[in-house]
Structures are given as structure tokens and as C-alpha cells.
Chains A and B, each alone.
Chain A
Amino acid sequence: MTRYLVGRIFQAVLGLVFITTLVFFLVRLTGDPARILMSDFAPLELREELAQRLGLDRPLYEQYLSYMGGLFSLDLGRSFNGQPVIDILLARFPATASLALAAMFVAIVLGLPLGILSAVYRGSAIDIFARTVALFGQSVPAFWLAIMLVLIFAVILRIFPVAYSQGIESYVLPAIAIGWAAVAGIARLVRSSMLDVLDSDYVRMARAKGLPSTVVVVKHAFRSALIPVLTFAGLVLGSFLNGSVVVETVFAWPGLGKLTLDAVNSRDFPVVQGAVIMIAVFFITINLLVDLLYAFLDPRVRYR
């Protein structure tokens, strides 16, 4: 297990270095920040002065080494507007994290029961309903869903606020908008896993022993069916933690997604790099945790 753990951590660090390097060079292909920060009409010498002050006049390898050196001391540099990148990211993180958890809550609370019921009552009206929800969830774009939710539940019914992070009720619509696609994904995955398990010998044996149906489903089938769902849920949570540009824009939510988009548009390289690294850390960490949990739950993984 220790060897497995060390191997996975080494892979994670390697992945992080690769992503950091990639994003460092890619953002520099997108344009000259000195051109954007300065007025269109500023003299050339002033733009050059700005580039010098931002360190953009140095050779690319020097900029890269300096940036990577800073990362070892958790220094993500400063935004081109002067603020430390880490402060900017941390200021946005609670909004994104809380919304991600709320969306995850929606996805699990709706997705799991739908998947289970759909499998247990295969071919019934419940199954058709669940599969329709899954189809709808995976085919409807988030921006459209977000606008429809606002129209119905905020403008017409006046149940929830239109936008802004202003109390628990303001989480409902954006959490559904973000989590809906995951509801569909989880429901479909649980359904197919459950169907596999329900057809297995040991479940038939449990039924033959006369165990109540609820016990068979919850204790025997559901536990086994949950393992693939865990991987999916980890990836989903990772993507939620990146923030959703569309949903954050519609709900005026002050999260990481909108921040990253704004930083890309204004060529604020340090913020783009910081945001991508943060996103990469989320993904890698969650994947690592899921893998470890997987290994913990399934002994076959540990010894592979």
C-alpha cells in the first residue's frame, strides 16, 4: 500500500509540473499584456517600461525558472494589477467551493435514488422517468438551464433570488444548474452498476436465502455498485471546484470560473497560471484521494 501511495503521489507531482510548464508557455502565445494594460495610444517607450516592470522583457527561460522557483515557496506571483495572486484566488475560493459542495449535494441526493430506483424497477414508469431525467440532464446546456431556472423560479414564481451569493436560498438555483448534468451522470452510472450487481450470483443467493428486498438492495447490491460511482463523483467534484464560467456569469457569482475568464481576457498571466495550477491541484488531489479510497474499498487494486 505504501509503495502504491508513493507511486501515485510521484505521478501527481509530475503531472502538476507538466501542467504548470504547459500553461506558462501557452499563455504567452496569447498576446502582449503591456499592449492591453496600456492605453492604445501610449507611446512605445512607456509600453516597454511597463513590460520591463512586469518582467516580461526577460528571456522566456528566465521568466520560467523564476516562476517555478517561486512555486516551491508557494509564491504564485503578483497579478499585473499588483495584488498577490494567492490572495485573489483565495478570495474567490469560498464562493466556488461552497457552490461546488451544494451542487455535489444536489447531484448525489437526486442522482443516487434515481439510479437505484431505476435499476430496481427496471422497465417500469419510474425507470422511464429516471432515464428521461438523465437524458434531459446530459443534453441541456447549463446556460439555458440556468436562464430557465431564473425565469421560472425567480421571475415568475418568485421563490428564489435571481442572482448573487446572499444567503442559503441563493444557492438553490445555481447548484441545480451546475449539478443537473451530474445528476444525470450519477443516475445512469448507478443504474447500470446496480443492474450488473442485481444479476450477480451472490445477490441471487441473498434473495434465495429469503433476505428482505430492501436489505438485498441497500446492503449488498448498492455497496458494490457504488465503487464506479465514486470515481465519477470525484471527477465531478473536481470540475465543480474549477467554477463554472457560464453559471457564475448568469448568477453573478463571484467564483473562480469568472475570475479565470476575466484573467484570460485581460492577459493577466500570473492569475491565469495561478488559477490553472489551483484547478490542477484540485483534480490531482481528488483523483489521488479517489484512487486511495478505491484501493481501500477494493483489495484487488491494492495488490495489483
Chain B
Amino acid sequence: MSRNLSAPLAAGVVVSLVLAACGGQATSPSAGASGGGSDGGPSGELVVITPSLTGQGEDVITQAALEWSHKPWWDDVHDYVIEQDTEGALVPGLATEWTPSEDGLTWTFTIREGVKFHNGDTLTAEDVAWSWNRVIFDPASTHTIIGRAPEVESITGDGNEVVVVTRSPQATLPMWFAELDGGSAGAVYSQAYYEEVGDEMWSEPIGTGPYQFVSMEGEQSATLTAFLDEERSDWQQERTPGFKDLTIRAAPDASTRVALLQTGEADVVPLPISSIEELEGAGAELIQVPGATQSVMWCMGFSMNPDSPCNDEAVREALSIAIDRQGIADSIFRGYAQPSSAFMAGEGAHGNPESLAAADFDPERAVELLAQAGFDESNPLTVEIVVADVPGDMPLMPTTAEAIAGNYADIGVEASVRVGEEEANKEALFGFEFNGQEAGDPPTPITLYIRGMDNRYYFVDEQATLFTDDSENGSSVWNADAFPEMSERLRAIQAEFDFDAQGEMMADYHNWMAENWLQMPLLSASAVFGVSDKVGGWDFRIAGKGFPHNMWSIQPAE
């Protein structure tokens, strides 16, 4: 019998090794010298780690779920009509300018001439119109921007102009297609290439970006190389990458990412807050991008259930000022976060209320306010904090919720924390399942819902949809009928075509929200990246979701 068993055993070992040899692809990450090539062009290889990459061959234009996991490398292969600078302001990308018509129903984008795709074709306004039409109107599209479809009449390209006609004035339309505020909706693709290769475009993409696609290995890595065609336009030549080759690899586990940096197998690594101190102590080079993600807490009973204690402004204020935001930022986030004064704003964001301070931590006043509202030791207020741990979003949200529950316990509020799965929480939120979302619900426990968000995600549209009665989805947080001023303010912002004036109106809106304690902004956290000694400068711009971005601008160290 030993012979009978040894044969399959040996076969198993052999098959294992053969499969190992076939399945693996020997690579030498981080290989290559840094610095410019002998001809002055880029040289060397940069290895960048990201938490996830999506699979090869998936239609990234129309799949909303894919946009953030593709974006780390997709944006270095493709360009946007509108880009955003470090302050979040809209700056020219493939378009040199964009202007609204007097009636506000038409936006005209002027497209740069002579821009080349990686296959040598010249970019046209028709390519832009085709890309945008597909993401908005394709029946297969599940992209975030599809919510705008009912508002868009047509998108056409002619000469070097793209014309977008809408059914109502849309002052914020450029943000729909902007590089960061618009997710990946505004990326431009070659219509001719798609007609030639069909869905193969997703596994062999071409764009006009600083890097061109070389290969993708499943969901493990994507390999790019600098686009150095001499025929490329001056604008493209100005965006020549600092490194010749770029490899983006996925590592979902934070400790793995740290290990990759420590062993020199990676050059740019998004770091978890828990490992920052250790790496700092070891002398690692860190790059901090403030205000990458943000969190807020909403009282679910507020304005939707007449019996909810949250209808009393004193209770809303008490629940907000009882939170020790600075303490949470210093202890849980180890200084890599700061108290937040407004939600979907933040340092550098368009319309950020610069003069608005975060709510002061004042537990004594909170106790007084609760007593005014009839809650004390003999009649304690009860709350349930609902939260989810969302990878890639605002970090440490469940721990933050626990800390808030501790703050509440200190003022006599009985708080429990319900950590759920993100999508299940959303289902319940939009399904009006939380206590307090409907009239007739018991007044307590109050549901306090924590939501994380990146700072810049077309603020106005999102707020308008969430907080007004314009949409079928609306009113899951507040009953807009109870706050007509909120809807009026948001609609006024959407109708303001002067960008600066629009920003001021947004700041006013945030101030008004804070004065009335309509929501509880919590914290704004930094994205932190560990970098190897190969990395010199990096024009990082803004990092929603904390992923590496704009990697073509990474320059080799001297």
C-alpha cells in the first residue's frame, strides 16, 4: 500500500511544482536604477502598491463599482477634459476652456488640438462626446454619473468643441467630468479603437495619458511604460513621467503593504495609521495628504419622526459637543486627523468654510442641554450608533464610534454601537429601516448613523440628492419639507454659474448647517504614504479615498 500512496503523493508534488512554475511570473520588483536616462528621458522602474485592482477585461466605463479600484492606474493612462489642482480648483486638461451659455443650458468645452492616443491616432472632440455619452446613456452603465442622465439633453462633438445641452441650468456640470470630483466619468477614450477591437479595449486600453498600458496580470498588477512618442503634443510632452516604467500592484492587507515597503519591493505604499509611528521610528520617508477622507454623524430621527428627541435643537447640540473630536484625532488617529467643521468640505475643497471652526468639546454644557430637554440620570437618553468599516474609505470608523459612545457615557447618555457591513447599512438607510426614519417610530433609542466620505465628490449634487426632496432617494436622512431653506440654498448653488460666488454660497450653506446643528461633522483624516528613497518630488494633488494618484508626476530622487 505504501507504493499505492506514494505514487499519487509524488504526482501531487510534481503537479504542485508545475502549477507553481506556470502560475507564477518571476518579476523583480523595484528593479532598475532611478534617475534620468542617459538621453535625458525617463528611466528606472517605480513600483506602487494599492489596496486593490479590478480584473482585466472589465468594462470600466460603465461599471460604477470599478471606478475607484481602477483609478490608481487608469488615470495615468487616460486623460480628463478637466483636471484639478492641489486646491481642488478646476484646471485645463484635454480642454483649454469651458463656458456656459447665457441661459445656462449649454456648456461648450474647447478641446486641445494635436493630442495623440497611444496608438498614434489624434484625439478629437467626437472621442470626448462618445466617451461621455456612453457613460451617461449606455443602458449597461451603472456608473455614478448615470444619475445625471435625466438632466442631459445631448452631448455632441464637432471640430474642436464638445457641446453639452441640459434640460435645466447646471452650474456644476464641469465637476461631473472633472478628474477627481467626477470619479472616472470624465476619462476620454478612443471611439475608433473601440469600434476596431470592441470590449478588448478594457484588457488592452489605450489613452492619451503620460503612461501607456503594457500588461495586466489578473487582479495582481498592471504594468505601464512612459508614452514617449515624438509626435505627441507639447501638452503631452510637458507631462512626461519621471520614471520610465510603472508597476502598480494590489495588496489588500495593510501589514503586507508595510512589509513590501520595508523589504524594498515597493516604492510607494498607502499606509494604515496603525503602522505610521513604527515606520517613522525606523526612519521611513512619509508623505501626508491632509483631508483625504472625512466622517459625519446624522441623527436619523431628526425631522422625520415628530416624536424624536432630535427635533429639539438642544439635543442635537448636546450630542455634537459631547464628542471629543480632538481627543479622538490625537489618540485613535495619532494626530493624522483633525476635527471637522463641515461635511463634504475640508481644507482646499471648493466652498470650504474657512472661518468655521469645529464644534467645541463641552461635556458640561451638553449635560445642561440634555437636562433642558428632559434627559438626566433618572431619564437617560439612549442612542444606537450605526457604523461600518469600509476598506479604502474613512479609516477607523468603528473605533471612532466606540470612542463617541464613551464620550456619551460620560454625560449619562446610554450608547450602544452597531457595527454592520457597509452595504447592509446602506440598504437599511435607504430602506428607512432605522429607528426614527419614519413617523410612529419609538422616540428612542435615537439612531446615529456614521458615514465616511472623501472630501471632494461633487458636493452640491450629492447634498442636493441626499438632503432635498428632489429625488426618489431623497429624504432618507432628513425630511426636506421641514427645512425648505436647505433645498432653496442647494438649488441656488446649483444655479450659480460664477465659480467664486458659488464657492461662497457653499461656505454659507455649511455655516448655516452648523448654526442649526443639522449634522455632526466628525473628523477629517490624512492619507499617508510611505515612499522609498527612489522617490523625489510628487505633485500629488488631492487624494480622495487615499489611493496613489497622478503617479506620472513622481520624480526620481537626486
**A contact set with B: CB distance below 8 Å:** 30-32, 35-46, 49-50, 53, 81-83, 88, 91-92, 94-95, 97-98, 101-102, 104-105, 108, 147, 150-151, 154-155, 158, 161-168, 170-171, 218-219, 222-223, 226, 249-252, 254, 258, 265-267, 297
Cβ of B19 and Cβ of A98 under 8 Å apart?
A: yes
Cβ of B253 and Cβ of A223 under 8 Å apart?
A: no
Cβ of B23 and Cβ of A95 under 8 Å apart?
A: yes
Complex Cα gap A154–B257 (Å): 12
24 inter-chain pairs at a CB distance below 8 angstroms, sorted by A residue, are A35-B423, A37-B142, A38-B64, A41-B147, A41-B461, A50-B142, A81-B65, A81-B66, A83-B57, A88-B55, A91-B218, A94-B23, A98-B19, A101-B16, A162-B265, A164-B221, A167-B25, A168-B24, A223-B1, A223-B2, A249-B253, A252-B251, A252-B256, A267-B423
- CB-based nearest B residue for A147: B255
Cβ of B25 and Cβ of A166 under 8 Å apart?
A: yes
The residues in B between 51 and 98 inclusive whose CB is less than 8 angstroms from any CB of A are 55, 57-59, 63-66
Given known contacts A94-B23, A155-B263, A164-B249, is B430 in contact with A40 (CB within 8 Å)?
yes
Cβ of B63 and Cβ of A81 under 8 Å apart?
A: yes
Given known contacts A41-B461, A151-B259, A168-B17, is B423 in contact with A265 (CB within 8 Å)?
yes
**Interface residues of A: mostly helix, strand, loop or mixed?**
helix
Q: How far is the CB of B66 from chain A (nearest CB, A)?
A: 7
Cross-chain contact of B147 among A43, A81, A83, A170 (Cβ < 8 A): A43
B260: chain A residues at CB < 8 Å are: 162-163
Complex Cα gap A223–B24 (Å): 36
Cβ of B259 and Cβ of A46 under 8 Å apart?
A: no
Q: How far is the CB of A172 from chain B (nearest CB, A)?
A: 10
Cβ of B1 and Cβ of A101 under 8 Å apart?
A: no
Cβ of A42 and Cβ of B147 under 8 Å apart?
A: yes
Complex Cα gap A97–B20 (Å): 9
Cβ of B22 and Cβ of A162 under 8 Å apart?
A: no
Cβ of B64 and Cβ of A252 under 8 Å apart?
A: no
Cross-chain contact of B218 among A155, A251, A254 (Cβ < 8 A): A254
Q: How far is the CB of A196 from chain B (nearest CB, A)?
A: 17
A44: chain B residues at CB < 8 Å are: 472-473
Cβ of A258 and Cβ of B252 under 8 Å apart?
A: yes
Cβ of A102 and Cβ of B20 under 8 Å apart?
A: yes
**Known contacts A35-B423, A91-B55; 16 further A-B pairs (Cβ under 8 A):** A37-B63, A43-B471, A43-B472, A81-B58, A91-B218, A95-B23, A102-B20, A151-B259, A154-B263, A155-B263, A164-B221, A165-B23, A166-B25, A168-B20, A254-B218, A265-B423
Q: Which 6 A-B pairs have the closest CB atoms?
A: A98-B19, A101-B16, A44-B472, A39-B144, A41-B465, A167-B26
Cross-chain contact of A222 among B2, B17, B26, B218 (Cβ < 8 A): B2
A101: chain B residues at CB < 8 Å are: 12-13, 15-16, 19
B146: chain A residues at CB < 8 Å are: 38-39, 42, 46
Complex Cα gap A166–B217 (Å): 11
A223: chain B residues at CB < 8 Å are: 1-2
Complex Cα gap A98–B18 (Å): 8
Complex Cα gap A46–B62 (Å): 13
Q: How far is the CB of A88 from chain B (nearest CB, A)?
A: 7
Cross-chain contact of B256 among A168, A222, A251 (Cβ < 8 A): A251
**Interface bits B141-162 vs A (CB < 8 Å: 1, else 0):** 0111111011000000000000
Q: Does B140 contact A (CB under 8 A)?
A: yes
Cβ of A37 and Cβ of B25 under 8 Å apart?
A: no
B147: chain A residues at CB < 8 Å are: 39, 41-43, 46
Q: How far is the CB of B53 from chain A (nearest CB, A)?
A: 10
A166: chain B residues at CB < 8 Å are: 24-27
- CB-based nearest A residue for B464: A41
B144: chain A residues at CB < 8 Å are: 39, 41-42
**Which of B19, B149, B220 is packed against the most chain A CB atoms within 10 Å?**
B19
Q: How far is the CB of B47 from chain A (nearest CB, A)?
A: 11
Q: How far is the CB of A61 from chain B (nearest CB, A)?
A: 23
Q: How far is the CB of A181 from chain B (nearest CB, A)?
A: 18
Q: How far is the CB of B508 from chain A (nearest CB, A)?
A: 23
A102: chain B residues at CB < 8 Å are: 16, 20
Q: How far is the CB of A282 from chain B (nearest CB, A)?
A: 15
**Interface bits B264-277 vs A (CB < 8 Å: 1, else 0):** 01000000000000
Cβ of B139 and Cβ of A49 under 8 Å apart?
A: yes
Q: Does B39 contact A (CB under 8 A)?
A: no
Cβ of A164 and Cβ of B220 under 8 Å apart?
A: yes
B197: chain A residues at CB < 8 Å are: none
Complex Cα gap A209–B431 (Å): 79
Q: How far is the CB of B392 from chain A (nearest CB, A)?
A: 12
Complex Cα gap A166–B28 (Å): 9
- CB-based nearest B residue for A45: B472
Cross-chain contact of A53 among B140, B256, B462, B471 (Cβ < 8 A): B140
B59: chain A residues at CB < 8 Å are: 81-82
Cβ of B427 and Cβ of A35 under 8 Å apart?
A: yes
- CB-based nearest A residue for B220: A254
